[in-house]
Amino acid sequence: MRYLCIAVVSCLLTFHTQAAIEQQLAHCTTIADNASRLQCYDQLAKASEHVAVSATETNANTSPNPALTSKLASAPSLTPPPKTSVKADAVAEFGAPRKEDNQALEQIRYPVTSAQKGLRGGYTVTLTNGQVWQQIGSESFRVKQGQTVVIEKAALGSFLMHVDGTNNSIRVKRLQ
């Protein structure tokens, strides 16, 4: 009877602790900053390792250990790291290789600082915000310095550029 009582108490404490760990795991998934999220997961792994070791020690002992039982009852509380979700300027990140989701911005509109035609006929366009875009493909296209271009998201992560007020567009990729 004594062993059954110890087993039931340790199972209940372990269940309570695991529920707390699952809540903390859900919290970790909501952290935007990669380093902070990793730190949260590391703390959670240490806490769950501590609980697993404590639970095995409790089951192995024939008499309940009050110090161990209090450790299990008060599950290690992880304090969430300070929210440092630094959101970079959406315009500066538009078209850059994805580090995180840039879903908020669908298009940008900027004047052209320089437009150079390459050896194979494709353009390399520098915008006033410092971005450099290169034409992919051999479609006919004309753009001059001072004209305003619109670059918008297209299918499968590609981008289309057209001179503001025209329908002729080309597929482009961002260089800088």
Q: What is the pLDDT of residues 86-144, one digit of tens each?
A: 455 777 778 776 665 555 688 899 999 998 888 777 889 999 999 999 989 888 888 88
Instruction: Give the model's pLDDT for residue 86.
Output: 46
Residue 93 lies in a domain: no
Tokens of residue 100, six digits = 């995180």
Give the model confidence (pLDDT) of 132-157 as tens digits: 999 898 888 888 889 999 999 888 88
Residue 82 lies in a domain: no
Q: Please give the tally of structural domains in the chain.
A: 2
Q: Residue 119 belongs to what domain range?
A: 107-175
Instruction: Give the model's pLDDT for residue 72.
Output: 47
3-state class of 17 per DSSP? helix
- Structural domain ending residue among the three candidates 53, 68, 94: 53
Residue 30 lies in a domain: yes
Q: At what angle do helices 66-73 and 2-29 cross, to 10 degrees?
A: 30
What average pLDDT does the chain have? 74
- For residues 56 and 8, the model is more confident at 8
- For residues 9 and 31, the model is more confident at 31
**Among candidates 173, 174, 152, which has minimal Cα distance to 163?**
152
Containing H/E element for 3?
Answer: helix 2-29
- Structural domain ending residue among the three candidates 12, 36, 53: 53
Instruction: Give the model's pLDDT for residue 109.
Output: 92
Which amino acid would we find at residue 133?
W
